[in-house]
Amino acid sequence: MRQWAKMLNDLGGDVTVVHLPEAGLHGNTHFPMSDLNNAEVAELMYDWLKERGLD
């Protein structure tokens, strides 16, 4: 995933790979908005959008 993100970013994209355990969020499934910590996941996503003026 990180290599794919680098390739797209090198081509002018804006890809960020977030590994939730590295971000301090643990116990997630492949459906993070259904997990018990979905508000924390949403906050990460919102912050990313806000940093880019997309909020």
pLDDT in tens, 7-27: 999 999 999 999 999 999 999
Instruction: Please work out, in degrees rounded to the nearest 5, the angle formed at the alpha carbon of residue 43 by the alpha carbons of 38 and 48.
Output: 130
CA 43 to chain centroid: 10
Q: Which amino acid is at 31?
A: F
Mean pLDDT across 23-38:
92
Q: Which residues of 14-47 are buried (b: 16+ CB within 10 A; e: fewer)?
A: eeeeeebeeeebeebeeebeebeeeeebeebeee
pTM of the complete model beyond 0.85: no
The answer to whether the beta carbons of residues 33 and 44 sit under 8 Å apart is: no
